[in-house]
Structure formats: structure tokens, C-alpha cells
Amino acid sequence: MNAERRRILLVDDEAVVLDSCLAILEGSGHEVAFASSGETGLDMARGWQPDLVFVDLKMPGISGLEVLDALRELDPTSVSIVFTGFATIASAVEAMQHGAYDFLAKPFTPDEFRSMVRRGLTQRELLVERAALLRERETLRENFAAIVSHELRSPLAAVQQNLFVVMAELDGSIGDAQQERLRRMSARIGDLLVLVNRWLRSFSIDISHMREGFRPVAISGPISAAIESAQAEAVRKAVAIAGDVDPGAVVAGDEGALTEAVLNVIGNAVKYSREGGRVVVSAMRRDGTVEISVADSGVGIPTADLPWIFDAFYRGQAGASGASGAGIGLALTRRIVEAHGGHITASSDPGQGSVFVIELPAFDAPVPGPGAAPPEQVSKGASG
Ligand SMILES: Nc1ncnc2c1ncn2[C@@H]1O[C@H](COP(=O)(O)OP(=O)(O)OP(=O)(O)O)[C@@H](O)[C@H]1O
Ligand SMILES: [Mg+2]
């Protein structure tokens, strides 16, 4: 027996089915309501917020599948189970694709129905718990970032400040070796501060405020800036960066953050390329989205690493085998891309290269002013 009182909604146009379900549920301790059409069922679900809904697939008016879609939209944690009159596998599969948790073929015995109710309610509990955990994780993440910023960044900045003062005071009165040691201390603390700041941004603090300042941005601007920043390292490794960018591709966003997001991906493409490799950056409009792709012919990403590379501090095989970094770049990029309502995916042919694709919603208004110049078509590294 369920200790808790739950709400169960039955939607079926056959009175005999409703009657028998009501009879079976009598004394179960649950609140039960019923509707004999999809329209009334949905109206009731809106106001009443049931935990579990049984839906007949075949009803006059709106179909069971439409009801399932609408229910899922209303509350993604509510659980729907379909009644199928003709127990065809195909219709059950289709119902599952529309979000049904399970199906019950008519006619069913009271025990079959009771057991389905129990399964459905257990699933509902799991979904509600999962949603609560996700919310809690998000809060923890934000609190954690706030703590890190106070407890780590502030003292580091203070140490750095004091070091500058001591270095200035001791200038001329200590030997070169001691000077060098102080300089190295200061440089390492500087690196740590940069790391903490990047890490903090990957935890969303600044990003949540970023949206307020969104403006139309021609994506060619951030891409040119990112290619330019990556150029020094590309030249050092004789890696050629080619760009093919639609000047009309515009998104609503924060230009600085977008540059950072793209730079992390292009920077990786160069970093994980072999000497003399090639990186191709392209951006184009495609059905309401702007698609930016960065392809390299570098070391590639092992399949086992792929699901984790967007997590903070995950470095994977390529990262662990010598290249410098902290494993933050892609976490930060994903955070920025998602703050812009987009998403990023990666695919790779290990040993052959990788492709990163960023999709952002296109901004449809015309760009104000002359717009950013498209990037150079091809900027070739030294001694190619
Ligand atoms: N283009 C790429 N080719 C091969 N491996 C890649 C590529 N981009 C990312 N990776 C893998 O994904 C991991 C995570 O990338 P990410 O940019 O987050 O961190 P990082 O480059 O190691 O360090 P950071 O960006 O903080 O300097 C890398 O360590 C590497 O293993
Ligand atoms: Mg990186």
C-alpha cells in the first residue's frame, strides 16, 4: 500500500473501462479523476496536476498521442501509461516515443491494472526525486563558485599584491637568484589566478548576468578575433588555419564571451594538432541557426573520452599526454554556448582528427552598421 495519497487521472471514451478502473482503485487511498475525451482530460490535468495518467490511444477528438505530447509539456515528471485496445507492438512503441512510460493492453485484469499503477507511481517518485536532485546540484554549483571566489581568489590576489610590494622594496638589495625566485613565485600565482577566474566563469557566475547585455553579433567578429589569438601558437607549430565564414551569420549574444568560447575550441584544434597540420573554421546559417564548425587533422579524441571532455577538469588522453592546460576550456565554452541558447557537440576519428560544432540560434534582424569584416580566407602558418 502506498503511504502517500496520489492523484490518478483516467482518460478513456469507454465508460466500461473507466468504471472498472474506478472500482479497482476504490479503497486504494488515491485521489482518482476521469475524463471521457482527450480535451477534457488535458483541461483536468492542467488544473489538477496528476501524478499518474492513463490514456486511451484511440479516442474521438484529439488522439491519445497528442494528449501524451501535451502532458509531457505540462509536467515532464508526470507519468503516462497508455491503454491499447488492439495490442499492436507498433502502436505501443509509438506511444513510448511520445513519452508514455508503459502500456496496458485491453482487456486487463484488476491485478494487472493495480501492478501498473504501482509501477507508474514508483516511476513518478523517481522522476520527481531526480528533478529535485538536479535543482540541488545547480544550487550547490552556484554556492560553491561563490565560496571559491571568496576563499581562494581573494587571498591569492592579496599574496600577489604583497609580493609586488616586497619585490619593489627589495629591488637592488637581493641577488639575481633571489629576484628570479620571487619572479617565479609571482608568475605561478598569476597562473593560479587566471585558472581560478576561468574556472569561476565555467561555473556560471558571470554568465547568468551576461544575458542582460546581449546584442546582435555578426559571428565573423568573434571568429576573426579567436583566429588571430590562436595564430601565434599556430605559426609556432606550422599549423594552417583556414576560415570560411558567412558574413550574414548573426546571433544575439555577448561578443567577448563568444570570442572566448570559439577561441577555446580553435585553441584546442591547434594545440592537439601535429606539426604542419590544418584547422578549418567555418560558420554558416542553416534553418534559423548559425552553425560554427572547427575541424582539425590532429590526434583525435578516443571514444572513451568523448562523453566527458565538456566536464570541468577532464583532460582526456590528449590532454594528459603532455599538452599544457587544466581541462577547463571546453567546460567554459559549453557554459557560454548554453547561455546563448545553443549547444556544442564533438565527434572524432581517433588518430585522424576532430570536429567541434557549435549551434546558436540565429538573430534575424539586420546587423546595425557596416558589420565586422569577414576573417581572412586563409591564414597560413610559417614555413608550411
Ligand atoms: N581538438 C581536439 N583534439 C583532440 N583532443 C581534444 C581536442 N579538444 C579537446 N580535446 C580533449 O578534451 C580535453 C578537454 O579539453 P579542454 O579544452 O576542456 O581542456 P584542455 O585543453 O586540456 O585545457 P585548457 O583548455 O583548460 O587549457 C583535452 O584535454 C583533450 O584531451
Ligand atoms: Mg583547451
43-47, 91-95, 217-221, range with the lowest pLDDT: 91-95
CA distance 302 to 319: 12
Which pLDDT band holds residue 376 (cuts at 50, 70, 90)? very low
Q: What is the pLDDT of residues 19-47, one digit of tens each?
A: 999 999 999 999 999 999 999 999 999 99
Residue 248 Cβ contacting ligand 1 at under 6 Å: no
- Establish whether residue 202 lines the binding site of ligand 1, counting it when its CB lies within 6 angstroms of any ligand atom: no
Whose CA is closest to 196, among 188, 321, 262? Answer: 188
The confidence score (pLDDT) of residue 374 equals: 41
The pLDDT of residue 254 is: 92
Q: Give bridge partners of residue 284 from the DSSP assignment.
A: 291
Quote the ligand 2 centre to 294 CA distance (angstroms): 13
Classified as helix, coil or strand, 380 is: coil
Which grid coordinates belong to 354? 576532430
Whether ligand 1 lies within 6 angstroms of the CB of 310 is answered as: no
Residues 233 and 273 sit within 8 Å (Cβ to Cβ): no
Boundaries of every domain in the chain: 7-108, 135-203, 211-379
Q: Does residue 322 surpass a pLDDT of 90?
A: no
- pLDDT for the residue 211: 80
For residues 238-265, average pLDDT: 95
C-alpha dist (Å) from residue 132 to 52, 83, 119, 128, 205: 18, 30, 20, 6, 21
Tell me which CATH homologous superfamily contains domain 7-108.
Response regulator (3.40.50.2300)
List alpha helices for the chain, DSSP H.
15-25, 38-48, 64-74, 89-97, 110-148, 154-170, 176-202, 205-210, 220-236, 255-271, 316-320, 329-339
For ligand 1, the distance from its centroid to the CA atom of residue 28, given in whole angstroms, is: 55
Q: Which of 309, 321, 348, 356 to mutate to test ligand 1, by most ligand atoms within 8 A of the CB atom?
A: 309
Measured from the alpha carbon of residue 347, the closest ligand is 1
Q: Which atom from ligand 1 is nearest to the alpha carbon of 332?
A: 18
Overall pTM surpassing 0.85 (yes/no): no
pLDDT attached to residue 201: 72
Asked whether the predicted pLDDT for residue 84 surpasses 60, the reply is: yes
Of residues 188, 179, 181, the one with CA closest to residue 159: 188
Please compute the mean of the pLDDT values over residues 318-341 and round it to a whole number. Answer: 87
Lowest mean pLDDT among 1-15, 93-107, 195-209: 195-209
Q: What is the mean pLDDT of residues 179-185?
A: 94
Q: Which of 303, 302, 223 has the alpha carbon at shortest distance from 264?
A: 223
Query: Taking the CA atoms of the chain, what radius of gyration do you get in angstroms?
Result: 29
* Residue-level pLDDT at 377: 37
| Probe residue for ligand 1, chosen from 268, 272, 347 as the CB with the greatest number of ligand atoms within 8 Å | 268
- Cα–Cα separations (whole angstroms), residue 271 to 64, 230, 266, 329: 53, 9, 8, 12
Cell matching residue 311: 566536464
Q: What is the DSSP letter of 341?
A: T
Atom 4, ligand 1: which residue's CA is nearest? Answer: 300
Average the pLDDT over 299-307 and give the result.
94
Report DSSP letters for 178-229, one per residue.
HHHHHHHHHHHHHHHHHHHHHHHHHTTHHHHHHGGG-EEEETHHHHHHHHHH
Distance CA 284, CA 263 (A): 18
Please answer whether residues 379 and 241 qualify as being in contact, where contact means their C-beta atoms are separated by less than 8 angstroms: yes
Separation of 321 CA from ligand 1 center, angstroms? Answer: 11
According to CATH, what is the number of the domain 211-379?
A: 3.30.565.10
